[in-house]
Amino acid sequence: MEKSIDLTLRIWRQNGPNDRGRFVTYEAKEIDTAMSFLEMLDVVNADIERRGEDPIAFDHDCREGICGMCGAAINGQAHGPDKGTTLCQLHMRRFNDGDTLVVEPWRATPFPVIKDLAVDRSAFDRILQAGGYVSVRTGQAPDAHAVLVRKENAEEAMDAAQCIGCGACVAACPNASAMLFVSAKVSQLASLPQGHPERERRALAMAEQMDREGFGYCSNHYECEAACPKEIDVRHIARMNREFLRARVLA
């Protein structure tokens, strides 16, 4: 055991999208600071289960910061206080004995609460379905070396492609804008020659779908970049705006 701390948790409990929801207080005692935040929730939940009560629902899967399934705001910060970190990779050594932590789900109209901290992010799938792909069928591809890609462009594409679709950018944005998420895909494919034939169509279709889902507009607060566990740069938003303008002009 590294060190043991006691915490007070104020956790949002909401039984489905139509329930009003409320904060419920839990005491988390003797938490080993080597635990991850989700392991701490596991310990709290095990106590709740042993009492025969309903444990706190939260989404999670890989627990190594790559699947994008987990996420909650701690004291108002999406994924908690560490930069470039998903909730599952946040460790309890980050907190002090006696701290009170307020834990809430992503708050955004396009992300209705399923239960407690779990929200419905299917809007993201619908945006990607609108154009977040290259139209190539299996078997049509030329040899991988047939098209050269500048290393800088490949790196740029990779920077954007790291997005795990967790939704923290939306939760952190005062307008609940999905611009960082959408721009990451637009920018990835705009950086690569393989994405060029469809770039106009893609930018327009994805932006339209984003509006349709009810996400807000970007007003340059950059909260998304600060919250992003993969530290995706807001310059991708600038690139998406250029792509969008370009598409409108060419349309």
Partner 1 sequence: MNLDSNVPSGPISEKWTRHKFELKLVNPANKRRFSVIVVGTGLAGSSAAATLSELGYKVKAFCIQDTPRRAHSIAAQGGINAAKNYQNDGDSVYRLFYDTVKGGDYRAREANVHRLAEVSNNIIDQCVAQGVPFAREYGGLLDNRSFGGAQVSRTFYARGQTGQQLLLGAYSALVKEAAKGGVEMFPRREMLDLVVVDGKARGIVVRNLITGKLESHCADAVLLCTGGYSNVFFLSTNAKACNVTAAWRAHKRGACFANPCFTQIHPTCIPVHGDYQSKLTLMSESLRNDGRIWVPKKEGDKRPPSDIPEEERDYYLERKYPSFGNLVPRDVASRNSKDVCDESRGVGSTGMAVYLDFRDAINRVGQATIEARYGNLFQMYAKITGEDPYQTPMMIFPALHYTMGGLWVDYNLMSNLPGLHVLGEANFSDHGANRLGASALMQGLADGYFVIPYTLGHYFASGPIGKVDTDHAAFKEAEKESELRINRLLSVKGKRTVDEIHRELGMLLWEKCGMARNEKGLKEALERIPAIREEFWENVTVTGSAGSFNQTLERAGRVADFLEFAELMVYDALNRAESCGGHFRQESQTEEGEALRDDENYCHVSAWEFAGVGRDPILHKEPLVFEEVHLTQRSYK
Chain residues 193-232 in contact with partner 1, contact rule CB under 8 A: 194-195
Q: Which of 234, 167, 229 is nearest to 37 (CA)?
A: 229
Q: Which residues contact 42 (CB under 8 A, 6 or more apart)?
A: none
Dist. CA 59–CA 84, nearest whole Å: 19
Can residue 24 be called a binding residue for partner 1 (CB under 8 A)? Answer: no
Taking the complex as a whole, the smallest distance from the CB of residue 66 to partner 1 amounts, in Å, to 5
Can residue 34 be called a binding residue for partner 1 (CB under 8 A)? Answer: yes
Q: Which residues contact 2 (CB under 8 A, 6 or more apart)?
A: 32, 33, 34, 93
Can residue 175 be called a binding residue for partner 1 (CB under 8 A)? Answer: no
Helix, strand, or coil here: 213?
coil
Helix (H) or strand (E) holding 158: helix 151-161
Can residue 66 be called a binding residue for partner 1 (CB under 8 A)? Answer: yes
Instruction: Tell me the window of 98-106, 154-162, 215-223, 235-243 that interacts with partner 1 (CB under 8 A).
Output: 154-162
Dist. CA 249–CA 42, nearest whole Å: 53
Q: Which residues contact 202 (CB under 8 A, 6 or more apart)?
A: 131, 132, 186, 189, 195, 243
Taking the complex as a whole, the smallest distance from the CB of residue 197 to partner 1 amounts, in Å, to 11
Among 21, 102, 107, 161, binds partner 1 (CB under 8 A): 161
Can residue 55 be called a binding residue for partner 1 (CB under 8 A)? Answer: yes
Can residue 46 be called a binding residue for partner 1 (CB under 8 A)? Answer: yes
Among 5, 37, 68, 101, binds partner 1 (CB under 8 A): 68
Q: Which pair of structure tokens corresponds to residue 148? A: 């050269």
Site size for partner 1 (CB under 8 A): 81
Taking the complex as a whole, the smallest distance from the CB of residue 39 to partner 1 amounts, in Å, to 5
Q: Which of 116, 184, 177, 191 is nearest to 149 (CA)?
A: 191
Can residue 85 be called a binding residue for partner 1 (CB under 8 A)? Answer: yes
Name the residue nearer to partner 1 (CB basis): 213 or 218: 213
73, 75, 118 from 104: Cα distances, Å: 5, 8, 10
Among 13, 32, 77, 102, binds partner 1 (CB under 8 A): 32
Can residue 80 be called a binding residue for partner 1 (CB under 8 A)? Answer: no
114-143 residues in contact with partner 1 (CB under 8 A) are 114-115, 118, 120-122, 124-125, 128-130, 132-143
Can residue 151 be called a binding residue for partner 1 (CB under 8 A)? Answer: yes
Taking the complex as a whole, the smallest distance from the CB of residue 163 to partner 1 amounts, in Å, to 9
Among 8, 22, 24, 62, binds partner 1 (CB under 8 A): 62
Name the residue nearer to partner 1 (CB basis): 134 or 245: 134
- Burial label, 162 (beta-carbon count in 10 A; 0-12, 13-18, 19+): middle
Dist. CA 53–CA 18, nearest whole Å: 21
